[in-house]
Amino acid sequence: MKKQLVLVTLFLISAFGFAQKAELKMAKKAIAKNNFSEALTALSKVDNLKDNLDQKSTLKYLFYKVQALNGSNKLTEAATAINDLNQYEEKVGSKTYKAQTATILAGLTKNLSDRGIKEYQSKNYKAAKVTLNEVYNLSKQDTTFLEYAANAAYLDKDYDLALEKFNMLNEMKYTDIKTVYSATNKATGNTDIFNNKKEMDNGVKMKIYENPKTEVTDSKLPGIIKNIAYIYVEKGDNDKAIQAIQDARKADPKDVNLIITEANIQIKMDNKTEFGKLMEEAIQLKPNDATLHFNVGVIKQQQGDIEGAKKSYKKSIELNPENGNAYLNLGLAELDRDKAIVEEMNANLNDFDKYDEIKLKQLALYKEVLPTFEKANSLLKNDKDLLRTLMNLYENLEMYDKQKATQAIFDKL
């Protein structure tokens, strides 16, 4: 009886094997006719019993699946199928489909990358993170797509996936530093980018281009570390966020971008004192950065160091005379003296002579700060709070024409 059962079992396995091979032949014929839907249907009948296939049939099954999915424009599924085929060939030591797969892979990678970039540009980050990650899996030497996939996941607020990808980039010390060759097209006035220096130099020699430039882009690693840190902040793990930055700073203690990143996290955690220290450290390394001086001024002002804040704002203005916010904050810092004057006036409401004397001090202060606010207004158009401040100053200084003109602008907003 046992022998009979064994024979029946062997017969069933053999029958299944014949059936599977028949489906593979049907899939091959369908692919040859570009009937990829029919090919996928035939292959689906092999899926559940594919483990019973011999090596040769398994290779065919995996390759036909690649062809059918790629032909059906199911790009992400095709990418997975290619990985499955490559892994199996490597496992069994086969190169049967290596050349054909490489050709399909090149086209598939381009199509997937085009799709992923379009998804990213249209802000469909949920789809883009999957597509761009598939591109990286297909072409791991191009780590740019791993960066894109990480950014897409971050923007989709898929913080676990984003953290995984950013950590991969951090571990490989990804910088994406490039040398960019550019020159101005004399005919169009546009700046064109060249593949290499030779192309740029030839364009200049032929007098088609002028103003050639060779620029080296900044490293993207600080930005990646920043994102890792911000993800930890989003996940409520501030200690890991700070640790991520400080680990990076050990390797490059003079990287101003890393210092600023840590400072931004500290201020996000409301650690104003630590923020101020870090910004001062950044200024030591980059003393001519107007934005750094402005940010230090903001923190000093919040901490009550008005004189220190004014000094920082003035330095920011010296370095960037078009910084409207620096003028505005400088004006507010200078106007801080008004608090004490108002208190003194309130304390002398019954002493008219003293009150009038203090009032003159207040008007003198208003005249002093007015030019600073007017300069800020010339740079910061349509700032309602600033316009309100100007109207109050004009009213107190009895500059009614200017008050009415400012009121008219305010009413239109």
Pick the CATH number of 113-171 from 1.25.40, 1.20.120, 2.40.70, 1.10.3470: 1.25.40
Which residue is it, tokens 């078009």? 322
pLDDT band of residue 19 (cuts 50, 70, 90) is low
Q: When comparing pLDDT for 91 and 16, which is higher? A: 91
pLDDT above 60 for 387:
yes
pLDDT above 70 for 384:
yes
Backbone angles phi, psi at 141, to 5 degrees: -75, -20
Least confident segment among 12-21, 230-239, 250-259: 12-21
Tell me, what's the pLDDT at 104? Answer: 87
pLDDT (mean) for 97-108:
87
Q: Where are the beta strands (DSSP E) in 46-122?
A: none
Q: When comparing pLDDT for 197 and 5, which is higher? A: 197
Tell me, what's the pLDDT at 1? Answer: 40
Share of the chain above pLDDT 70, in %: 95
Q: Which CATH class is domain 292-413?
A: mainly alpha
pLDDT (mean) for 103-107:
87
What b-and-e string marks burial along 248-278, b requiring 16 or more CB atoms within 10 Å of the CB?
bbeeeeebbbbbbbbbbbbbeeebeebbbeb
Residues in contact with 70: Cβ distance below 8 Å, sequence separation at least 6, in sequence order: 78, 104, 107, 108
Determine how many CB atoms are found less than 10 A away from the CB of residue 286: 16
pLDDT above 60 for 11:
no
pLDDT above 90 for 109:
no
Measured N-to-C along each axis, helices 144-155 and 221-234 cross at an angle, to the nearest 10 degrees, of 30
Q: Of 290, 229, 233, 304, whose CA–CA distance to 259 is shortest?
A: 229
The three-state secondary structure class of 374 is helix
Identical fold for domains 113-171 and 292-413, yes or no, is yes
pLDDT above 50 for 16:
no
The pair of three-digit structure tokens given for residue 245, joined into one six-digit string: 């930055």
pLDDT band of residue 73 (cuts 50, 70, 90) is confident
pTM of this structure: 0.59
DSSP 337: G
pLDDT band of residue 336 (cuts 50, 70, 90) is very high
pLDDT one-digit tens code per residue, 155-207: 999 999 999 999 999 999 898 899 999 999 999 999 999 999 999 999 999 99
How far is residue 392's CA from residue 401's CA, in Å, rounded to a whole number?
Answer: 13
Sorted by where each begins, the domain ranges of the chain are 16-96, 113-171, 179-216, 292-413
